[in-house]
Every structure is written in C-alpha cells, then in structure tokens.
Amino acid sequence: MLSSRSTRRPLMLALALSTASLVPLAAPAFVSPALAQEEAAKAAVITVSAEGTASVVPDMAVIDLTVLREADTAREALDANTKAMNEVLAALKEDGIEDRDMQTSNFSIQPRWVYPKNDDGTQTPKISGYQVTNGVTVRIRDLKRLGDILDTSITLGVNQGGQISFTNDKPDETIAQARKNAVTNARKKAEEMAEAAGVKLGRITSMSEQSYARPMPMARGDMMKLQAEAASVPVAAGENEYSVSVSMSFEIEQ
C-alpha cells in the first residue's frame, strides 16, 4: 500500500505541472511605436491664434434709396409713389447705373391710423389715409458720381434711406494679403512662446482659418472727399480693412 501511494504522488505532481504549463500567462500591454510617437507629438505642441489685416480703398458704394408717399386712398398714394420712383430710376440710368446694379429692396402699402376720442372717452381707430413706400438698392461703381446721384435722387423725390456702405468689387487680393499677415503673426507668436519656454519649434502639425471678417470702414488721412460740385452731397469713402484669423499648431522639437 505504501509503495502504491508513493508511485501515484510523482505521477499526480507531473500531471499538475503539465496542466499548469498550459495556462497562458497575462501578456504585457503592447503599444505600437507609431501610436506612442503620435501621442507624444500631441502632447508636445504649441498652438496659437492670430489675426491679420489688410486695407484697400473702396471702389464701389451701395446705397439704399426709398420713396415714401401718403394720400387719402391707397390708389392715390401708389400712383404718386410710382411716378416719383420711375423718375428716380430713369435718372439713375442716365447717370450710367446699369440694370444689374439696381434692385427693389422693399415695397409696402400701410394704412395710416388715427385714434380720435369719442364723447364717452373711448377711442375708435380710423384710417385717415395710406402710406406707400418703395425702396431700391443701388450699386455705384464710379464713386466720383456718388454725391451727384444722391443729390439728384433727393431732388426727384427720395425722402427716406440714404444709407451708404463702401465695399470692393473684387477684394480677393486684399483678403489673401490679410491671410498671409495672419500666418506671419501666428508664427511670430509661436516663436516668442517657444523662446520664452526654452524650446525650439518644429514642423507645423495643423493650420486652419478660423474666420473671415467683412470689411470695416477706416478713415484715411485725406478723407478722399468725393464731391464733383459744390451743390452735390459731400461723401468720404476712407478705406476698407479686411481681417482674417488663423490657428496654427507647431511641434516642439525634443
């Protein structure tokens, strides 16, 4: 009996060891070199935002002209308004404004209400007449004619509006210059940050344009007065400033 048990023990121990060798050991987590490098690059960057601007003299003006007429009836108000607006449009064409540069911007017919008091103190609204408005938005490509056109339009019956915005027909080159200035400013800012931190800039890892702003009017020194005659409306065009914002990320050299 003793010899039988002593024979089984080595056999059982061998089986246990053999079975244990079949159980896989937990493998260490593997991170690819490319992934590790990418994570390191993400952590070691300098990201900056900057704005660039460029200015140009406007070569076009956009104005809003409105004719308002009132009468006892809607028909009479409309007829009076139509007559005045037709004269304004004809004068604009005589001044060289093309059809493509004129667009009706608003048209409305509104009753004119009054609120007379009754004997009992109450108020009953009544229509005392009608008001007709008709507006036109005009692009003026010859700025030297702007003052005369405003003066003539008012003489012929325009009695509302007159808002003027100066713009550029083709601002692409100015916007491109503003974009270049934004990139230059962004790189300069990143270089200053790197110098302050005691590191060196590496390659650009990302670059994007965040926004593009519409032109902002800027006064010029000479004010560029557009006045052909003493009787015409004096107008100062100034300059338009275009701005572009960019964001850039630079790798920090290790």
Domain boundary among 143, 167, 191: 167
Residues 96 and 179 in one domain: no
In this structure, of 127-136, 159-168, 200-209, the range with the lowest mean pLDDT score is: 159-168
In CATH, what number is assigned to the domain containing residue 90? 3.30.70.2970
For the segment 203-250, what is each residue's pLDDT rounded down to a tens digit?
999 999 987 777 776 554 333 343 434 457 788 888 999 999 999 999
Looking at 167, 199, 232, the residue that finishes a domain is 167
Residues 118 and 178 in one domain: no
| C-alpha separations of 223 from 57, 174, 238, 241 in Å | 11, 20, 6, 15
What is the reported pTM? Answer: 0.66
Dist. CA 149–CA 143, nearest whole Å: 10
Domains held by the chain: number: 2
DSSP annotation of 120 reads: T
Q: Which of 71-75, 123-127, 168-172 has the lowest mean pLDDT?
A: 123-127
d(CA 87, CA 70): 18
Q: Which domain does 234 fall in, by range?
A: 41-57+171-253
| Pair (194, 246) in one structural domain | yes
> Do 83 and 151 belong together in one domain?
yes
- Please tell me whether residues 141 and 232 are part of one structural domain: no
In a domain, residue 7? The reply is no
Question: Within a domain: residue 1?
Answer: no
- Out of 149, 167, 185, a domain closes at 167
Asked if 138 and 95 sit in the same domain, the reply is yes
The reply to whether 186 falls in a domain is yes
CATH number of the domain within which 184 lies: 3.30.110.170
Q: Please write the tens of the pLDDT for every residue from 61-97.
A: 999 999 999 999 999 999 999 999 999 999 999 999 9
pLDDT of residue 185: 98
